[in-house]
Structure 1
Amino acid sequence: MKIFYLFLSFFFFSIVSFSQAPATEVRAVWITTNWGLDWPKQGTSTSAQKEELKAILDVLKRENFNTVLFQARAQGSVFYKSEIEPKSSYFNHADNFDPLAFAIDECHKRGLECHAWIITYPMEKAQMKYTGRGKRRKGVPIANKPDYYKFVNGTWYLDPGRPETKKLIVSIVSEIVSNYDVDGVHFDYIRYPSNTGKFPDEDTFKKYGNGENLADWRRGNINQLVTEVYDTVKSIKKWVQVSSSPLGRYRVLPVSPNDGWTGYEIVFQDAGHWMQAGKHDLMFPMMYYRGRNFYPFLNDWVTNSNGRTIVPGLGVYQMDELNWPLQDITDQMKYIRENKVKGAAYFRVGNLLSNLKGVMDSVRTYYPTPAKLPPLTWLDSIAPNPPLDLQVYRDDHGLLNLKWNTPDKKEDFTYTIYLSPVVNIDKNDANGILVTGLRTNSYSFAAAQGEYGFYYSVTASDRYHNESAVCFPAYFSHSANEQ
């Protein structure tokens, strides 16, 4: 049973102090599983790893996050049951443990969405054999891979131009979406390596180039994969969201033509096209830059969004690796909120949980209340009917209980509970959200007692985040004498 401590004083304090927090906003984090970077601790039992992940999710729930990007595929190894690729060595394989299934279940229990994060083209580090001595000593990769693997600077990459690569990635996505109740699939490294001038795909280009120039052909290879992936996902479960984390600099901008390598020009990642073509639902650009390298590029993403949801990724880790001051991150959070961008994501969760330079304290001030997720209106825009027959009562244990009937037993809903001192409940007022993302039609919590009362109401949201009208409200007096 979920316990929520409601204090009247906090309720009114939040109305006065945090009115700028929107009721609808993506609040996401990346949980890195490869190398056990965020999770799990290696060498521990399955039960210990489960408890470790639950503790992470408990904090995210408490701090009013609503989206988890869970790394389900690293460099050619996976954190789920696959018939295609081997299990990663970074989690305990005992007790038939399936990390992705467990993560999804535990996220949903807490009202969090869980998106399967997939590393796309990079595979594992190459095994090397060495010849010669001294300065002549040379490393040569052991050639034990299919010919659609390419060796670049010590790492194997899938060749984006090969049909075998597209077939493999689409099959992985199909396996995940078919077998797991994921809310989304999320792609990382869906681009050529940064030193693309040396990417060894001359043979592929000669065979499949069809007279195009190299740059357009490479961009087209990734565009084709994105299209195939998107169409495959929607053919299996239309509501599953497709997203990516492209380079934060989409393309060269006139205001900053010399600000480093970009997605479009350098790694052939035409992510703006994916949104314009309707083949993405969300975009999490990696905005791991400071000052003028952040703001114009974020504005460019919004310009190219085609109504899709832009969620800039903030480089919290840079406060550790490059010694950024906290203000770099908080200034970006402020800019996002002031410009009505639809949310933010943080890389990575370990930096948040450690409260690096006080970052979690700052996040807490920006997220004082829960937030709903933006509706995916380009997929479906019809809101469900509101819940029915809301009941509010205090039980023998002193807990306040809310129960209601579902508007349609065939549908898969989440619910948001509102409370208000007045009968007209405003769904756009974040301060009135008691809890959101519920996947059951009941809720219990320990509520403070006093000579006051609230109107309670509930809405239903479908898998596309379309929210119903509020149900008929129920008034409850919090007097100690009320039962």
Structure 2
Amino acid sequence: MRNGHRPLLAAATFAVVTTGVAYFFGPGAVPADSETKPAATRAARPATAEACQVSAKYPKRQLRGVWIATVRNIDWPSKTGLDPARQQAEYVRILDNAVRRNFNAVFVQVRPASDAIYRSPYEPWSQWLTGTAGEDPGWEPLPFLIAEAHKRGLEFHAWFNPYRAADKDDLTKLPAGHPARQHPEWVVKHEGKLYYNPGLPEVRAHTVKVITDVVQRYDVDGVHFDDYFYPYPGKETKFADEGAFTKYGKGKSLAGWRRDNVDKLVAQVGKAVHATKPYVKFGISPFGIWRNKSDDPSGSDTKGLSAYDAIYSDARAWIKAGSVDYIMPQLYWPRGFAAADYAKLVPWWANEVKGTGVHLYIGQALYRVGNKDVAAWTKAGELPAHLTLNRKYPEVQGDVYFSAAQVGKNPLGVLDKIVQDHYPRPALLPLMKERGGAAPAAPAGLRNSGGTLVWKASPGARSYAVYRVAGAKADDCATADARNLLAVVPATGAAEQSYTTTSQGTYLVSALDRLGNESPPVTATLP
């Protein structure tokens, strides 16, 4: 987020120094030389985590995301049949709302149900674009969706539903080229809908092919699954997968076999994503209760639906196997809720990821704020209190909100309070070491130009972090948290980058790669 464009009140006496901060970059890290002759330089002093007093209110790294649902036009586009310009304008407004709240990631539903919000060689255009499944919307949305997110410094996760085939069970109503129509043996009709049978290897292969295609062709930062695996219990209708179970069950119980089917898909997708582009993240947002303690002593102290038993979703297995990079449980209940207490579920999930390297983000029920069915949701302080509680558990590295329409509505003014108490500054993305990457070279040629900081672009930089410290000196802990972080400036692709300053002080600028690996900062003092 850029500051305003008010020029500096005083003519700037400009001094450039380079500062290596060992706390972030490792002992002995040396920044690239600035092309501007420094007025003063100093060697990096070793700094440790203990030496830097960081503030819980200003976390340097934190995922702050929002789901953008396309199914049933929940978030985008607002209705079917809009022209491309209107669709684009609506999407940009969603992104601008997110940036205004200091968010840094979007999770966009690109495959609601074996359809596509992009030009797919394997599945038809989504009905949620034009109103008619298979109808070309007249433009290619996904490159635009990704580019606009990146332009604003937002990480883009492509959200897929793995098993929903159609929202009606009449195969003849699907486009002629629809995979379910071409392979009716792949699907199960269940309570008025069509589902791909998770027990079939062909279904897993098709899903992996669809996702791999998107990762290959588009500049996504992540692949995301939501909580829809086997159908949720509805009318208690039996899911008709007996034939596949007979063929592939191999002595397992039905429930164990179903969980194994999901586990296999998760592992195959993770492997395919990372083999295609190692830096692309893969994560899942499961239902918030793995198992209840009454069913399993290692489960949570809850009394709600068990994802393990009801929809055969074993998030604990994915964490233990390292099949996912992150897990994002949907903790859509308030504190003190008898069946599923948020205050009990957060520590349970934190304990599950501890020491595994799997990141934990929390799915937050922004859509429930203001609802009168549960008294806690009528209070503007409930959701912000979730984030306060999260601070007690270092394993919690961020939050994602459902959904984008509610970010625009800001029910009970809750986002204003969240920004004030939790997101007053931007944040860098949490580092995911397993996905690789490397810090770019430090910005070079930093100079002042009429109240604007200008520097040469660093090869491989996705963005630049700009910090400001009041006064003419910044110590080795100046970038330890986000209290001094003014902006994360997206790379433009131009030879030079810039940031307009609004006040005097010491500015520090570092370069970030797409995974958030940060270079040493270059420092400019503007008296």
TM category, shorter? 0.7 to 0.9
Query: What is the match of residue 298 of structure 1?
Result: 346
Pick closer, same or farther for the CA change 1:289–1:163 going to 2, 3 Å.
Answer: same
Contact 1:3 1:444 in 2 (8 A): no
Query: What is the match of residue 389 of structure 1?
Result: 445
> Which of 329, 348, 361 lines up with 2:416 in the alignment?
361
Contact 2:117 2:126 in 1 (8 A): yes
Query: What is the match of residue 248 of structure 2?
Result: 208
Residue by residue over 1:337-368, the C-alpha shift from the partner in whole angstroms, topping out at 9 and shown as x without a partner, is: 34332111110111121111222222221211
Pick closer, same or farther for the CA change 1:419–1:6 going to 2, 3 Å.
Answer: farther
For 1:332 and 1:442, the matched residues in 2 are separated by 41
Pick closer, same or farther for the CA change 1:168–1:189 going to 2, 3 Å.
Answer: farther
Contact 2:125 2:136 in 1 (8 A): no
Query: What is the match of residue 28 of structure 2?
Result: none
Query: What is the match of residue 124 of structure 1?
Result: 166
Residues 1:106 and 2:144 are matched in the alignment:
no
Q: Which amino acid aligns with 1:474?
A: A
Query: What is the match of residue 481 of structure 1?
Result: none
Contact 1:192 1:268 in 2 (8 A): yes
Bigger shift: residues 194-203 or 156-165:
194-203
Pick closer, same or farther for the CA change 1:176–1:87 going to 2, 3 Å.
Answer: same
Pick closer, same or farther for the CA change 1:168–1:94 going to 2, 3 Å.
Answer: closer
Query: What is the match of residue 12 of structure 1?
Result: none
For 1:190 and 1:126, the matched residues in 2 are separated by 16
For 1:50 and 1:143, the matched residues in 2 are separated by 31
User: What is the CA distance between 1:81 and its match in structure 2?
Assistant: 1.0
User: What is the CA distance between 1:381 and its match in structure 2?
Assistant: 7.1
Residues 1:423 and 2:478 are matched in the alignment:
no
Q: Which amino acid aligns with 2:463?
A: T
**Sequence identity, in percent?**
31
Query: What is the match of residue 456 of structure 1?
Result: 507
TM-score normalised according to structure 2 size? 0.78
Bigger shift: residues 460-469 or 351-360:
460-469
Residues 1:273 and 2:273 are matched in the alignment:
no
Provide structure 2 residue ranges, at least 5 long, that are not aligned to the other structure.
Answer: 8-54, 172-179
Contact 1:190 1:222 in 2 (8 A): no
Residues 1:288 and 2:332 are matched in the alignment:
yes
Pick closer, same or farther for the CA change 1:353–1:34 going to 2, 3 Å.
Answer: same
For 2:152 and 2:462, the matched residues in 1 are separated by 14
Q: Over aligned residue pairs, what C-alpha RMSD do you find? A: 2.6
For 1:95 and 1:262, the matched residues in 2 are separated by 40
Residues 1:404 and 2:447 are matched in the alignment:
no
Contact 2:286 2:315 in 1 (8 A): yes
Q: Which amino acid aligns with 1:207?
A: K
Give the secondary-structure state (helix, strand or coil) at the position aligned to 1:287. Answer: coil
Q: Superposed, which structure 2 residues align to 1:202-351 within 5 Å?
A: 202-253=242-293, 254=297, 259-292=303-336, 293=340, 294-305=342-353, 306-319=356-369, 322=373, 324-325=377-378, 326-340=380-394, 341-351=396-406
For 1:120 and 1:94, the matched residues in 2 are separated by 23
User: What is the CA distance between 1:87 and its match in structure 2?
Assistant: 0.8
Query: What is the match of residue 480 of structure 1?
Result: none
User: What is the CA distance between 1:258 and its match in structure 2?
Assistant: 5.6
Pick closer, same or farther for the CA change 1:419–1:109 going to 2, 3 Å.
Answer: same
Pick closer, same or farther for the CA change 1:127–1:269 going to 2, 3 Å.
Answer: closer
Provide structure 1 residue ranges, at least 5 long, that are not aligned to the other structure.
Answer: 9-17, 130-141, 478-483
Select the structure with the greater relative contact order (CA < 8 A; seq sep ≥ 6). 2
Bigger shift: residues 460-469 or 19-28:
460-469
Aligned residues: 444
Bigger shift: residues 349-358 or 325-334:
325-334
> Which of 38, 45, 50 lines up with 2:75 in the alignment?
38
Contact 1:19 1:431 in 2 (8 A): no
> Which of 151, 157, 168 lines up with 1:115 in the alignment?
157
Q: Superposed, which structure 2 residues align to 1:51-62 within 5 Å?
A: 51-62=89-100
Contact 1:389 1:405 in 2 (8 A): no
User: What is the CA distance between 1:194 and its match in structure 2?
Assistant: 2.0
Contact 1:386 1:470 in 2 (8 A): yes
For 1:112 and 1:19, the matched residues in 2 are separated by 23
Contact 2:316 2:352 in 1 (8 A): yes
